[in-house]
Amino acid sequence: DFIKSNHSEWKIGLAGFHKPSDFILSNVWDLSLMVGTETNSYQGEKHGIKTFYTSCNPVRPNNFLAGDANPAENIWIGWHALQTGVDGFLRWAFDYWTVSDPSEQRVGSFTSGDFSFSYRSSNELDMEFYPAIRLELLREGIEDYEKISILKKELCVSDNQKDNDNYRRLCEMLENFSFNSLSTL
């Protein structure tokens, strides 16, 4: 109420890890729930953007530099967004460089790589930017999301029987994709 009393058209965003209350559903425009939280609860609501995010909990999927992390989980993120019907993925830090050593990724108690998806060659203004493999694989998942979305739109309106069969197979493949598919990576 305080935010809306200052400007009625401000859009409010929220990231959370519990099923949202009716109050939240009716007042938040950009809702992002932690992966694994029931997302269907807000599919029909008036939100402009629906995303999910990853965190230290649950352990899978993640996009950290951990010894047991599988980089393919970054591709899985795009497929999960498509299968659950959300608009995308929220990442809290892309280039939050807090230490002076450009090659150091450990920061306090945070998991290595949690602060960044990119690296820098130095701390100078003319530094070089280097994307992490985790960012490149996340990009692959986003590209898959876009390609499959386009294919679904094109195939579902076609009068061609082969297109209809391909659309059905594509939908079946997405239905079989699940949170449990992480274990096969």
- pLDDT by residue, tens only, the chain of 185 residues: 888 889 888 888 888 888 888 888 888 888 888 887 765 545 444 567 888 888 777 778 888 777 777 889 999 999 999 988 888 888 877 777 777 777 776 777 776 677 778 888 888 889 898 888 999 999 999 999 999 999 999 999 999 999 999 999 999 988 888 777 777 66
Question: Which amino acid would we find at residue 153?
Answer: K
Measured distance CA(183)–CA(185) in Å, rounded: 6
Q: Is the dihedral of CA 29, 156, 147, 150 positive or negative?
A: negative
Alpha-carbon span 91 to 93, nearest angstrom: 6
Q: Which single residue is written with the structure tokens 């876009």?
A: 146
pTM of the shown model:
0.82
101 phi-psi bin (left φ>0, alpha ψ -120 to 50, beta other):
beta
pLDDT at 44: 42
Q: What secondary structure letter does DSSP report for 180? A: G
pLDDT for 43 equals: 47
